[in-house]
Amino acid sequence: MHDIRELLDLGPEAVRRLARRRYALDPAVLAAAHRRRGTAVKTVSDLRAELREASRGHGGKPSEQAREKARRLRERVQEAEAAAHAAGAELTELLLPIPNLPLDEVPDGHSDQEAVEVRRGGPPVGERTGDRHHADLGEALNILDSSSAARLSGARFTVARGPGARLERALADFFLDLHTLEHGYTEYSVPYLVNREAMTGTGQLPKFEDDLFATRVGDRELFLVPTAEVPLTNLVAGQLLPAADLPLAFTSRTPCFRAEAGSYGRDTRGILRLHQFEKVELVRVCAVEDAPAQLELMLAHAEECLRRLELSYRVVLLPAGDLGFSARMTYDIEVWLPGSGAFREISSVSDCGTFQARRAGIRVRTPGGDKEPAATLNGSALPVGRTLAALLEQGQRPDGSVELPKALQSYAGFSRILPDGTTD
């Protein structure tokens, strides 16, 4: 969420930057709501001061007239407090749907087609013919079973069996070991159900409520996490962090649940866009001036996963109109899928600046004793399903087998899936 004073001080600049995201900011509406809240807060303050003065009296037992005046003032204070609360709620309701301001170095554009390629990594993309889609490979090897998943849960679910299930477990363990043992992240096991406050803190609510799975038991409402970013970031919600403790680096493996509202017809084959998938998430919390360097570091950590898995990929810088709601700058890592003949997103690594920290109340105590909002960053490193799809497509061989990269073989317990679905 934005600081209303900073947003209004930016004036036309805020309008310009948000227009790059196709968001039409109306500063006049915000300014009027800000004035109403300020007036309401001042009224509360003035009435409280008057009540304190009336309560002091002039010595001795207060008269009936003085007691009646104090009573009326207390009622007016309560009414004024209610009005101030309503004015504050109105302003918050206006601020919550406003997305983060893109940084100036973020390119213009509104779709992934306008992303700017930064670099490529892994083996060069070669010209091959006859490469099969991972859905076809998974069915042929009998390691992915979409028909059973459809009977259990409907569309956009999958069942992995045998070597497929083993590979999913191996990938998650490989990612977590890499990030905790070499990259310095602390691993957490977190709840998969979180409250509305946590979802609001990281920006999923109120904008993306239609894309979330919710559950209600009695009067208790909880949401299934769309990403471990939500519980990991909220581990420090409402806290004042000593600057000396920063940066914080968290990681967790969780299932992720997404309704994918508005994406119907996209990626209907295979395991690229499911309602439920597993992912290893990275979250970093730092001082705002350190955020650009922390973004590059997190991107390097995500890329290292792909390098060690010997996968071809590229890094792109997303345009302003394609940024996630809470991000001010995002790199996407796109992995090469020869079965589709295209690069497809496998990770987004985002700098959110102070946007989430303001919503979640995450602050830093500076060495000088000031209290400032922290900066938060998050990234996938990596989703299990999409990585499995890339391994199948890039690892396929003409005889129908799939070879695993050396880094994964000790985790999986085999080096190759044979055409009949067995391993060696």
Is 126 found in the same domain as 53? no
Is 123 found in the same domain as 91? no
> Considering 348, 350, 380, 401, which one is annotated as catalytic?
348
pLDDT of residue 57: 59
> Considering 20, 21, 258, 314, which one is annotated as catalytic?
258
> Considering 17, 358, 359, 386, which one is annotated as catalytic?
386
> Would you say 352 and 377 are in contact if contact means Cβ atoms under 8 Å apart?
yes
pLDDT tens, 167-186?
999 999 999 999 999 999 99
86-105 exposure pattern, b = at least 16 Cβ within 10 A, e = fewer: ebeeebeebbeebbbbbbee
pLDDT tens, 207-256?
999 999 999 999 999 999 999 999 999 999 999 999 999 999 999 999 99
What is the reported pTM? 0.93
Task: Select from 48, 67, 95 the last residue of a domain.
Answer: 95
Is 129 found in the same domain as 14? no
Average pLDDT of the residues in 294-302: 98
301, part of any domain: yes
197, part of any domain: yes
Task: Select from 70, 95, 120 the last residue of a domain.
Answer: 95
Confidence tier at 265 by pLDDT (50, 70, 90)? low
Question: Over 80: is that where the pLDDT of 344 sits?
Answer: yes
Is 179 found in the same domain as 88? no
Is 173 found in the same domain as 90? no
Is 36 found in the same domain as 163? no
Is 190 found in the same domain as 138? yes
Number of domains in the chain: 2
Average pLDDT of the residues in 283-302: 98
366, part of any domain: yes
pLDDT tens, 195-219?
999 999 999 999 999 999 999 999 9
> Considering 132, 273, 308, 365, which one is annotated as catalytic?
273
Phi, psi for residue 306 in degrees, rounded to 5: -70, -35
Percent of the chain topping pLDDT 90? 90
Confidence tier at 264 by pLDDT (50, 70, 90)? low
Is 272 found in the same domain as 157? yes
5 catalytic? Reply is no
pLDDT of residue 196: 97
55 catalytic? Reply is no
CATH of the domain at 231: 3.30.930.10
Q: Measured at the alpha carbon of residue 113, what is the angle toward residues 120 and 228, in degrees to the nearest 5? A: 70
pLDDT of residue 267: 66
Is 134 found in the same domain as 59? no
> Considering 81, 114, 310, 345, which one is annotated as catalytic?
345
pLDDT of residue 70: 86
pLDDT tens, 49-79?
998 888 775 555 767 787 888 889 999 999 9
Which structural domain range is residue 183 located in?
112-417
Is 262 found in the same domain as 175? yes
Task: Round the average pLDDT of the chain to a whole number and report it.
Answer: 95
Distance CA 38, CA 50 (A): 18
Is 168 found in the same domain as 244? yes
CATH of the domain at 86: 1.10.287
Q: Is the peptide bond before 97 cis (omega within 30 degrees of 0)?
A: no
347 catalytic? Reply is no
Average pLDDT of the residues in 94-105: 97
Chain-centroid distance of CA 91 in Å reads 24
100, part of any domain: no
pLDDT of residue 63: 74
Confidence tier at 44 by pLDDT (50, 70, 90)? very high
Collapse the DSSP code of 121 into the 3-class scheme (helix H, G, I; strand E, B; otherwise coil) and give the result: strand
Distance CA 423, CA 134 (A): 18
Confidence tier at 266 by pLDDT (50, 70, 90)? low
234, part of any domain: yes
348 catalytic? Reply is yes
Is 170 found in the same domain as 79? no
253 catalytic? Reply is no
Confidence tier at 127 by pLDDT (50, 70, 90)? confident
Average pLDDT of the residues in 30-36: 97
pLDDT of residue 262: 56
Q: What's the one-letter identity of residue 233?
A: T
Collapse the DSSP code of 381 into the 3-class scheme (helix H, G, I; strand E, B; otherwise coil) and give the result: strand
Average pLDDT of the residues in 139-153: 96
Which residue spans within 4-96 are E strands per DSSP? Answer: none
